[in-house]
A and B are shown apart, each in its own frame.
Chain A
Amino acid sequence: MALHNNYARWNQAIVQWATLGVPHGTPVYLSVDEEVLASLGLGPVEDFCQAVRAQVVDGQRVQLSTLQNQSLPEPAGVAFLALMVLAANDMVRDEELDERDFFTHFCQRLGVGGDTRPTGMKAGDEEGLWQEWNQWLEVKGWIATAEPGEGPRRYLNYPISQTLLRKADIQKLCCLFYEKNWTTARSETKLLVDLASEKNLNRHLEELLDDRQRHEVLGAEILAVHQEWLDAQCPKPEQFSRRPPTCLIAGLYRTEDRWGNPEYYPYPKVPRRWPVAEVTVENLGSLRCERSGWFFPVGAPLSAADLTTGKSWPIRDHAHLRELQLPARDFWVLVPDPENPESSALASWGAPKLGSHFTVLFREALWLDLQQLREEKLLQWEGDRQLAFEVTSGWWEIQECQVLAPVWDGLFLQHPELKEALQPRDRLHIALGGGLRVPQGQGWLEGHLPKVTVYGFQPTVAVTLTEVRTGSIYLPEDHRSTNQPWDLPADLPPGTYQIQVRGGTAHQERFLKILSWGDLSLASLE
């Protein structure tokens, strides 16, 4: 049975909202609340609930089978899952975490009676929808984040794991910005560090800040709220409402000139969750989309002074964007291209992954902190620090940096933002290196498979390799050494595979798509 039109529209809009402007290789959260749903332009939240109800409820009975076997470009169950997250947000507002409470809110939203699982929706029936959503994200190149809990909270944890900033949290943040007079622009890391030292946060915000795995996305969300608050001229909390951003933020893109000297370019980010069409920047021209989350680097190489003081360029004739801004920073962490690791380009593509190498561009004042990290055997790099510009600029680089150890908690730096940026967020990381990638990050070509390296702090991990469609297991609980590359079975046929890794209490999974030469399509050329 085909999806109802209204449901399909909500489903598609929510998928687009969740992934718009999110760079590949970074986590995606289905963190919808009433405000988000209202902002989609499809009607009030009640219409959304009604659309889900009409799709999956027959009388008082839930029928999730209506979401299965739909041939859509995106998973059909996302709007239903969004309603679960909405209920989880309702529940978190009460700061109670029990199953009955969740289902009370869930049933209310769904328009069925009761405070337990509704009729027709047995324990775990929805898990397949979460897994389908996770798989779709991973195959597209994002990191899935919905995960089960332990014991009786196994299924309840899926929607709870998706809740990020709720309305109450945003209000709390604005209170803090206002009371503490945070009226100048700050980086994600500075905001996270400053918030971590605040004593009067609500429980949900504290929990979010305690979960380092969420910091990358949380930092971006908090930065967006802070930027919107600044754009609104720092209003009182009760007068603040969310609105489209007025400035585009640029990261940094590093290449080398023909003589081997580093060059840094402004690298504009696509704003998360706000569709941006044509953008023309004065003196830099029109911005072109390079990849999910990023425009192409623009302009001439930046000077040391540009990095020190930041720089902005006016945006012409745009509905809400006014300027492109390169923020002033004391340091930049530049990582290799996640979609094209052979390239020597480095950029602000995200936090360094465990086991990966990266470059830190920093001002002189951070040198003592970096040396301390090396002395404590937490961080290592190759050779000496290198001048980034002329001697007097005060900007340096350390190259081929690598995190060595997991526990940074006992260390206090003069610049805690540096620690926030470099401290590993995961205990395990599955890296796929080498082989022949299918262009546009769509997987690998058969016969040219990547090597797998699981980076982690245990000597060994248990690895399972499963073909997703058939469920065929190619590696059953195979124990492998960490931090050593190993080959996949050479004769893996085209398909989608799931690599699952367990080490101690940590768990990671990654999807791997293998295509045949005949599957290669022609790229559309501009």
Chain B
Amino acid sequence: MSKKSSRSEQTYWGFRTHTSRYKPQKLLNYLQKRVTQENLADVVSHVRIEKGIKERSRGEYYFYLGIKTNARSDWSSTQNTLEQLIKTVRGISIVRIRREGFCWEDIRHMVGIAYELERDTQPIEYFQVKRPPKVNPLGLETPIAEAAGSDRSQPCEQLLWWLSAAGSGSWETFQAVCSHLDLVQPRRLWRRLQLLGHLLAAQDGQHWQMQPPSLQPVSKNCYVLYGQRNASLQESLQQFGRLVKIPQPRRDAPPCWQLELQADAANAIAELRTKYPALAIRPVEAPPPWADWVATLKVVDWVPLHRYRLKRYDGSSFVDVPDAEETGFYELYEEGSQQQHALFYDRQHNAWYSAEWYSLRFLALTHLAPKNLSVSYDPNAQELSIPISQRWPLAYERYLVMQSGCLPRYNRTTEELIYQNIAPTVWQVIGEQLPFFDLEK
């Protein structure tokens, strides 16, 4: 409704007061209470008081009641009630200044809004809130930010301590903390922390939960700590052995804390548990068989395709497509929005699936060209290599990373990711769970 039309429905009754004691605010409070008590709020819309009365020494002032004359069918009795109400104001003489009402134009130069009654007060200016654009945590920033020689280990460690103190939270909180610590590309960091076993994310990526402080055996009497940690735990661990902090290859994640126990492991753990009851040796579990993993993908009930421009992954890049006709990995872009969605479409079941970006790309590769998927293993160096363009789903890659507590090294020449401390038994598990690879080759 426009300003003009809303005002045209009302008239103003004008009054003059004669007193130096009855302050306008007191009058307002009184009218407020009486109008409510008499149930006249639909008739009296507001009160306006003469401007600049504070500067004058004389005590009289004008005020106006905004009246909606068409609010009630029984106008004459309403009018009487209103007149009676004004007469009940005690300790002040009030005279109506003319029988007819005023229109807004008659009085608008004379009255102010209520807050002008009090000197030295001012309205609070409306301010726009700058909210960061919504970011889908299951997507990825591209390309990977170059480390540019900067060592981010320290702020990443601080981030981990902060998350350990929080225990759980939302993706937006994670983003905000990264931003405060000047950590760029929070979605990649989010994935790295999951690869290192520190936190688990909900399937829709909207929430996270820290893992309790846990020890993953990596060799005899040697453990990697994953999950919650802080200054106090660091101090406690150092009482039972040598705590080595191994920087991650690109120094873009918290260092690996490797504990070489000097005491008997069972005794040491028992003592540590008196202070940290949740601490335990928790060897990383093997990932599920491929078919089981596919079955856990989250089905998206409804996709408003009409709002989005589609691109489909063709094995090396995303190309524009008019609609989703084929099974594959799609990115959905909305005009005027920075947010994009990455989903997998299964034509056979006419279903859309959601998961983290690398998982869906790998799923797409298994449909596009499963024979092109490759992996190599060096039993002597105990290293496993995969092409960077075929990065594995989180559940499988985490199993590799957790063997050492270190993220993979990147070999620029071969464009491969190299995982360390991969025992033959681990290699064997991989072969069993991922049926695409011929481990005999």
Interface residues of A (CB under 8 A from B): 193, 196-199, 258-260, 340, 342-345, 354-355, 357, 368, 371-372, 375-377, 380, 382, 400, 402-414, 416, 434-436, 438-440, 445, 448, 455-459, 482-483, 504, 517-518, 520-525
Contact = CB atoms under 8 A, between A and B. Distances in A.
Contacts of B158: 517
Contact of B167 (A400, A414, A523): A523
Contacts of A259: 304, 307
B165 A340 contact: no
Q: Which 9 A-B pairs have the closest CB atoms?
A: A523-B167, A439-B166, A410-B47, A342-B176, A407-B114, A412-B41, A380-B126, A518-B231, A457-B121
B36 A405 contact: no
B170 A457 contact: no
Nearest to A357: B129
Given A340-B173, A411-B114, 20 more contacts: A197-B37, A259-B304, A343-B170, A402-B124, A406-B115, A406-B121, A407-B114, A407-B118, A410-B48, A412-B32, A412-B41, A436-B162, A439-B162, A440-B165, A458-B120, A483-B125, A517-B231, A520-B162, A521-B165, A524-B278
Given A400-B129, A458-B122, A405 B181 contact: no
Given A342-B176, A357-B129, A483-B124, A410 B28 contact: yes
Nearest to B28: A409
Contacts, number: 183
Determine chain B's interface SS by DSSP, over half rule: mixed
Contacts of A412: 32, 35-36, 40-42, 44-46
Interface stretch (B12-20, B207-215, B283-291): B207-215
A524 B25 CA distance: 53
A416 B230 CA distance: 52
Contacts of B153: none
A404 B123 CA distance: 5
A199 B36 CA distance: 11
B172 A342 contact: yes
A524 B164 CA distance: 9
Nearest to A342: B176
B82 to A, nearest CB: 12
Interface string B333-362: 000000101000000000000100000000
Contacts of A517: 158, 161, 231
B114 A410 contact: yes
Contacts of A438: 165
B168 A522 contact: no
B233 interface: yes
Interface of B: 1, 3, 6, 25, 28-29, 31-33, 35-37, 39-42, 44-49, 113-115, 117-118, 120-129, 131, 134, 136, 158, 161-162, 164-170, 172-173, 175-177, 180-181, 204, 209-210, 212-213, 228-233, 276, 278, 300, 304, 307, 339, 341, 354
13 contacts: A198-B37, A258-B354, A259-B307, A344-B172, A345-B170, A371-B6, A412-B42, A439-B169, A457-B118, A458-B122, A504-B121, A518-B230, A522-B229
B124 A404 contact: yes
Given A260-B134, A407-B28, A436-B180, A523 B164 contact: yes
A382 B41 CA distance: 27
Nearest to A336: B129
B177 A436 contact: yes
Select the residue from B1, B127, B209, B341 with max chain A CB neighbours within 10 A: B127
Contact of B41 (A407, A413, A435, A522): A413
B237 to A, nearest CB: 13
Contacts of B209: 525
A406 B120 CA distance: 13
A402 B172 contact: no
A436 B181 contact: yes
A405 B131 CA distance: 24
A121 B210 CA distance: 52
A440 B115 contact: no
A431 B37 CA distance: 36
A55 B1 CA distance: 66
B31 to A, nearest CB: 7
Nearest to A523: B167
Given A342-B173, A435-B180, A522-B213, A377 B36 contact: no
A407 B117 contact: yes
Contacts of B304: 259
A376 B177 CA distance: 39
Contacts of A525: 167-168, 209-210, 212, 228, 278
A52 B231 CA distance: 42
Contact of A457 (B123, B128, B204): B123
A488 to B, nearest CB: 15
Given A375-B3, A525-B212, A414 B114 contact: no
A193 B180 CA distance: 44
A520 B37 contact: no
A357 B40 CA distance: 31
Contact of B127 (A258, A375, A402): A402
Nearest to B114: A407
Nearest to A518: B231
Contacts of B36: 193, 196-197, 412, 416
A410 B29 CA distance: 8
Contacts of A411: 45-47, 114
Given A407-B117, A459-B122, A440 B278 contact: no
A374 to B, nearest CB: 10
Given A197-B39, A343-B172, A400-B129, A440 B28 contact: no
Contact of B232 (A198, A260, A434, A521): A521
B53 to A, nearest CB: 14
Nearest to A407: B114
Contacts of B213: 522
Nearest to B36: A197
B166 A343 contact: no
Nearest to B63: A410
Contact of A520 (B42, B125, B161): B161
A368 B212 CA distance: 53
Select the residue from A368, A436, A524, A525 with max chain B CB neighbours within 10 A: A525
B124 A457 contact: yes
B46 to A, nearest CB: 4
Contacts of B42: 412, 414
Select the residue from A375, A411, A517 with max chain B CB neighbours within 10 A: A411
Nearest to B125: A483
A340 B175 CA distance: 12
Contact of A524 (B118, B134, B167): B167
B6 A439 contact: no
B90 to A, nearest CB: 15
